[in-house]
């Protein structure tokens, strides 16, 4: 929507960096904000881990913030838990994967001058930031931030303190942001592909963003509906989620009743299961790009991966109730969702297997981006395979709501998705800034993160199998049957704090390399896709390319026999 | 640099950007109201005391029937305004778009009287689950009507300059507004039977 005039004259500071409509600036805004939120959400978890490792012992330094004599209060612990989940998912990982990487690299990889709707793109970022600020505001209202878990199950959330209302308003803003973003991404990919860039020539990363766009577009509105209903419950006194005859603290609740807490769970998980694939698909896309580039081989089974991802996206809408086996919804429904859940594991395995096979016989370049991408593969494998027992109703009865679940989805999202996002940062930093990130610091970052992250999440499987429930303020001390797994808590917490330290080389690396890093040339990794072959580093403001490229071949023509450079760019005739 | 297919259609997709954009937006709206309609079904199935059946008895069917006709007419005038614009008849375009805005206003006034009548009888969202969903669904629908009215007003008065500077783009915009308006109309066509008649 940029007019004829605004591209030629010099832009003001505000227009250029703050209220920019250039997809690259918006992408970087998304990226920086999301990284800050990731760090903040991680800090909340590090505080919680003190309470779990040393229950009822005063916390050093910051203890006075969370309760008398430095001992964290249970309601504060609950707030931190709910906000950790909310921040990591909705303010950290998704904005980084979709808002930052999607925004920055989808137009570049398809040879477009910008997103289809630049002003919508800007509004999407500002809605996201507003949502984030509203969420943070929750910490300062009476009763503290939302404390009913990131899932906000009623009836608890219906009668919880004001923080829950703030949480709901924040979510409405975040959902609006993701709606604007997904409309934009899908339209851009359908409409603005360069000449010759057919669907089966799209880089895999663009495919994953395309499917993710549909998941965000169609799965989020039911949660918005649920959010509206919960707001009505909390503000207008309705009983959508409150059954008749509900007793709270020994007193009958004075409401009309007739509602159902299960309704929330259905609407919530209708979003929150596809959300899992929103978290994982862009990560797979990034890993795919990096694997092809650093094995110097085409991605094995490109078409199968594309079809598998599309099927995965479709199936993700019909598996939601596998989160609800324990609600007594009936064995017929359980059987249905158990079956669909087993089916959805097939495309995930197809994608992961194809990526492993891609490594076969490659002369692999072990740079930091590749290390993180390689780390993603087994970590996501562990996360995915440990999900199977949770998808089968019979075994889920034992494992439901234990630390096993926490271990499972953190393996998917933390050493899975977040490692892939780190890989993306190391891979694309030269394109975004024209500087290369320091490899030595990068490798320290990778190896320390890899060790400590497993130190946190692997023991969770043991604790979960022993039966420790996931939301316990004291880490399960009151559970007599699991006492022989408590010793793991201290080790897990120490790993978490060390993981925090392990991020310092990364932060230093970002700053130092930006200031005085090695200069990157336009195609630093000798890649084949358009963002590397046809755009300068960094790409031109507001138009990306000197000349919009034309595409003549598939995305990963590496090691082509007879080619002089060893690879053929997509834009080479 | 101009973004391609902002005004003209892309050959292989047969659409300009905003048309795809509005269809995607409407798909998301279908899921929003779909979620709420599912909530309606879910709650009605669990309604052992019969508040849904008895609640709908208290709603004013003649007024709602009138409102249904008003909204359908507004959809007709909406499409007439786009057709007039395509034919280059600016005067008729303004007349039809203005009528759409007026009819939307009539709808809201009728709705206002319906709401106040309920409040006078002491019926509020917290009266029963039926009235909770009645007020939520119709309220959300009214917000959509209001949003549509703001956009229609914009194109009728302050935004109408584009008619002279970029006529083709302006026509496209009216088309996308129309698509949205028909959707809002359609939502009401579903709301009317499930709330008033069942």
Q: Which residues are paired to A248 by β-bridges?
A: A251
B-chain residue closest to A260, CA distance: B43
B27–A116 CB contact, under 8 Å: no
Question: Distances from the Cα of A430 to the Cαs of A187, A404, A503, A517, A524, in angstroms?
Answer: 28, 39, 20, 10, 7
Q: Does A7 touch chain B (CB under 8 A)?
A: yes
- A155 cis-preceded (ω within 30 degrees of 0): yes
Q: Does B12 touch chain A (CB under 8 A)?
A: no
Long-range CB pairs of A536-540, under 8 A, 24+ apart, other chains included: A537/A430, A537/A431, A537/A432, A537/A433, A537/A434, A538/A24, A538/A431, A538/A432, A538/A433, A538/A434, A539/A24, A539/A108, A539/A431
Q: Does A241 touch chain B (CB under 8 A)?
A: no
Cα separation, A223 vs A205, whole angstroms: 27
B interface test, pick of A231, A237, A258, A275 with most B CB neighbours within 10 Å: A258
Asked if B4 reaches chain A (Cβ–Cβ under 8 Å), the answer is yes
From chain A, the residues in CB contact with B12 under 8 A are: none
Report yes or no on A170 lying in a domain. Answer: yes
Residue A256: predicted pLDDT: 87
Residue A363: φ, ψ to 5°? -95, 95
Q: C-alpha angle A339/A344/A349, rounded to 5°? A: 130
**Any B CB within 8 A of A342 CB:** no
The answer to whether residue B41 neighbours chain A at the CB level (below 8 Å) is: no
User: What is the pLDDT at residue A105?
Assistant: 97
Check CB contact of B127 with chain A, cutoff 8 Å. yes
Q: Are A312 and A279 in contact (CB under 8 A)?
A: no
Q: B31, B33, B187: best mutation site toward chain A, by most A Cβ within 10 Å?
A: B31
Residue A559 lies in a domain: no
Give a yes or no: residue A550 inside a domain.
Answer: no
Backbone dihedral angles phi then psi of residue B12, each to the nearest 5 degrees: -80, -20
Residue B27 forms part of a structural domain: no
How many angstroms separate the CA atoms of A144 and A74, rounded? 12
Tell me how far CA of residue A137 lies from CA of A83, A164, A243, B131, B141, in angstroms: 12, 11, 31, 32, 30
CA dist list (Å): A356 to A295, A321, A360: 11, 31, 7
Residue with tokens 């991408």: A373
Evaluate if residue B109 carries a pLDDT over 80. yes
Contact flag B27-A217 (C-beta cutoff 8 Å):
yes
Q: What is the CATH number of the domain that holds A496?
A: 1.20.210.10
pLDDT score at A57: 86
Do the chains contact at A256 and B127, CB–CB below 8 Å? yes
Answer whether B27 touches A (CB < 8 Å): yes
Decide if A406 is inside a domain.
yes
Spatial separation of the C-alpha atoms in residues A408 and A495, rounded to whole Å: 17
The single residue listed with the structure tokens 């930093």 is A429
Contact A1 B128 (CB under 8 A): no
Q: Do A256 and B126 touch (CB under 8 A)?
A: yes
When CB atoms are compared, the residue of A120, A238, A244 closest to B126 is A238
Cβ of residue B35 closer than 8 Å to a chain A Cβ: yes
Interface residue A22 vs chain B (CB under 8 A): no
- C-alpha–C-alpha distance, residues A92 and A33, integer Å: 8
**B116 contacts chain A (CB < 8 A):** no
- Which residues does chain B have within 8 Å of residue A226's beta carbon, measured at their own beta carbons? 35, 39
Residue A138 inside a domain? The answer is: yes
- The confidence score (pLDDT) of residue A71 equals 86
The list of chain A residues with pLDDT below 70 reads 1-9
CATH code where residue B167 lies: 1.20.120.80
Q: Quick one: which of B172, B184, B116, B173 has its CA closest to B146?
A: B184
How many other C-beta atoms are found inside a 10 Å radius of the C-beta of residue B164?
9
Instruction: Note whether A131 and A178 are within 8 A (CB).
Output: no
> Of B159 and A291, which is predicted with more confidence?
A291
A275 contact residues in B (CB cutoff 8 A): none
Give yes or no for A123 touching B (CB within 8 A). Answer: no
On whether any CB of chain A is under 8 Å from the CB of B106, the answer is no
Q: Which residues pair with A163 in a beta bridge?
A: A145
Chain B CB contacts of A237 under 8 Å are 124-126
Q: Which of B8, B16, B20, B21 to mutate to test the interface with A (most CBs of A within 10 A)?
A: B21
Under an 8 A CB cutoff, do B32 and A224 touch?
yes
The reply to whether residue A225 touches residue B39, judged by beta carbons under 8 angstroms, is yes
CB contact under 8 A, A258 and B3: no
Q: Report yes or no on B60 lying in a domain.
A: yes
Neighbours of A13 (CB within 10 A): 7
Flag whether A446 is in a domain.
Answer: yes
Q: Tell me if B1 is assigned to some domain.
A: no
Q: Do the Cβ atoms of B129 and A256 come within 8 Å? A: yes
Q: Between B32, B124, B132, which is nearest A240 by CB?
A: B132
pLDDT of residue B112: 97
Site from B126, B134, B179, B183 to mutate, A interface, most A CB atoms within 10 angstroms: B126
The rounded distance, in Å, linking the Cα atoms of A84 and A79 is: 8
Query: Which residue range forms the structural domain that includes residue B177?
Result: 55-197
Q: How many domains does chain B have?
A: 1
Classify residue B136 by its DSSP letter.
H
Task: Write out chain A residues lying below 8 Å of B140, CB-based.
Answer: 228
Q: Using CB atoms, pick whichever of A1, A191, A226 lies closest to residue B10.
A: A191
Place of tokens 């990889």: A109
Q: How far is CA A515 from CA A32, A428, A433, A537, in A?
A: 17, 17, 10, 15
Residue given tokens 């605004």 in the structure block:
A6
pLDDT band with cut points at 50, 70 and 90 for residue B1: low
Q: How many CB atoms lie within 10 A of CB A96?
A: 25
CA distances from residue A250 to A156, A158, A246, A247, B11 in whole angstroms, order as listed: 15, 17, 10, 6, 68
Least Cα distance to A2 among B6, B2, B8 occurs for: B2
Residue (of A260, A179, A194) closest to A224 by Cα position = A179
Q: How many domains does chain A have?
A: 1
Residue A200 counted as domain residue: no
State pTM to two decimals: 0.95
CB contacts, 8 Å: A267 with chain B: 35, 38-39
Chain B within 8 Å of A264 (Cβ-Cβ)? no
């Amino acid at each position: 929507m940029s007019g004829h005039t605004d591209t030629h004259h010099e832009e003001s500071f505000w227009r250029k960096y703050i209220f920019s409509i250039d997809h690259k600036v918006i992408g970087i805004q998304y990226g920086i904000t999301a990284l800050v939120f990731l760090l903040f959400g991680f800090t909340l978890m590090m505080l919680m881990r003190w309470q779990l490792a040393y229950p009822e012992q005063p916390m050093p330094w910051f203890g006075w913030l969370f309760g008398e004599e430095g001992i964290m209060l249970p309601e504060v612990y609950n707030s931190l838990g709910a906000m950790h989940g909310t921040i990591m998912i909705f303010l950290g990982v998704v904005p980084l994967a979709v808002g930052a990487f999607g925004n920055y690299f989808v137009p570049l990889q398809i040879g477009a001058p910008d997103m289809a709707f630049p002003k919508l793109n800007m509004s999407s970022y500002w809605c996201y930031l507003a949502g984030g600020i509203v969420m943070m505001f929750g910490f300062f209202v009476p009763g503290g931030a939302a404390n009913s878990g990131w899932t906000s199950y009623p009836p608890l959330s219906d009668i919880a303190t004001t923080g829950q209302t703030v949480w709901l308003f924040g979510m409405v803003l975040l959902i609006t942001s993701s709606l604007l973003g997904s409309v934009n991404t899908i339209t851009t990919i359908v409409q603005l592909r360069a000449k010759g860039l057919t669907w089966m020539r799209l880089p895999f990363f663009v495919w994953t963003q395309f499917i993710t766009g549909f998941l965000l577009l169609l799965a989020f509105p039911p949660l918005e509906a649920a959010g509206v209903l919960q707001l009505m419950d909390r503000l207008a006194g309705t009983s959508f989620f409150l059954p008749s005859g509900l007793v709270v603290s020994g007193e009958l609740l004075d409401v009309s009743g007739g509602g159902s807490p299960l309704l929330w769970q259905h609407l919530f998980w209708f979003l929150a299961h596809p959300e899992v694939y929103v978290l994982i698909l862009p990560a797979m896309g990034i890993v795919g790009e990096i694997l092809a580039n650093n094995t110097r081989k085409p991605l094995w089974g490109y078409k199968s991966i594309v079809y598998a991802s599309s099927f995965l996206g479709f199936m993700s809408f019909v598996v939601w109730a596998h989160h609800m086996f324990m609600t007594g919804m009936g064995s017929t429904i359980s059987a249905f969702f158990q079956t669909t859940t087993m089916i959805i594991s097939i495309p995930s395995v197809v994608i992961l297997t194809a990526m492993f096979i891609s490594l076969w016989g490659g002369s692999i370049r072990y740079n930091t981006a590749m290390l993180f991408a390689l780390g993603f593969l087994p970590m996501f494998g562990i996360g995915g395979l440990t999900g199977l027992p949770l998808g089968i109703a019979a075994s889920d009865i034992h494992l439901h709501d234990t630390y096993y679940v926490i271990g499972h989805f953190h393996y998917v999202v933390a050493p899975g998705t977040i490692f892939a996002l780190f890989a993306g940062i190391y891979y694309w930093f030269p394109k975004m800034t024209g500087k290369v990130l320091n490899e030595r610091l990068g490798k320290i970052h990778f190896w320390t993160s890899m060790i400590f992250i497993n130190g946190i999440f692997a023991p969770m499987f043991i604790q979960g199998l022993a039966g420790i429930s996931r939301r316990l303020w004291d880490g399960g001390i009151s559970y007599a049957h699991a006492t022989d797994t408590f010793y793991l808590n201290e080790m897990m917490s120490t790993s978490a704090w060390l993981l925090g330290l392990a991020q310092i080389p990364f932060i230093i690396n970002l700053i130092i390399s930006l200031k005085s890093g090695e200069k990157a040339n336009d195609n630093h990794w000798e890649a084949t896709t358009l963002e590397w072959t046809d755009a300068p580093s960094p790409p031109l403001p507001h138009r990306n390319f000197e000349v919009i490229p034309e595409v003549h071949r598939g995305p990963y023509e590496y090691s082509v026999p007879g080619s002089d450079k060893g690879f053929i760019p997509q834009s080479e005739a | 640099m101009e973004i391609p297919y902002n005004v003209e259609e892309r050959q292989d997709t047969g659409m300009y950007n905003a048309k795809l954009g509005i269809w995607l937006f409407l798909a998301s709206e279908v899921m929003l109201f779909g979620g709420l309609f599912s909530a309606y079904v879910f709650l009605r199935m669990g309604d052992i005391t019969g508040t849904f059946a008895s609640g709908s008895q208290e709603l004013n069917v003649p007024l709602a029937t009138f409102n249904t006709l008003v909204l359908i007419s507004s959809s007709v005038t909406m499409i007439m305004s786009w057709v007039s614009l395509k034919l280059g008849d600016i005067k008729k375009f303004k007349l039809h778009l203005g009528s759409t805005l007026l009819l939307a206003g009539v709808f809201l006034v009728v709705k206002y009287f319906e709401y106040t009548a309920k409040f006078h009888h002491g019926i509020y969202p917290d009266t029963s689950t039926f009235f909770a969903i009645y007020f939520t669904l119709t309220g959300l629908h009214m917000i959509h009507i209001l949003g549509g009215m703001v956009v229609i007003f914009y194109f009728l008065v302050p935004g109408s300059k584009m008619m002279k500077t970029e006529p083709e783009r302006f026509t496209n915009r009216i088309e996308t507004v129309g698509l949205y308006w028909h959707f809002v109309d359609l939502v009401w066509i579903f709301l009317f039977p499930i709330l008033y008649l069942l």
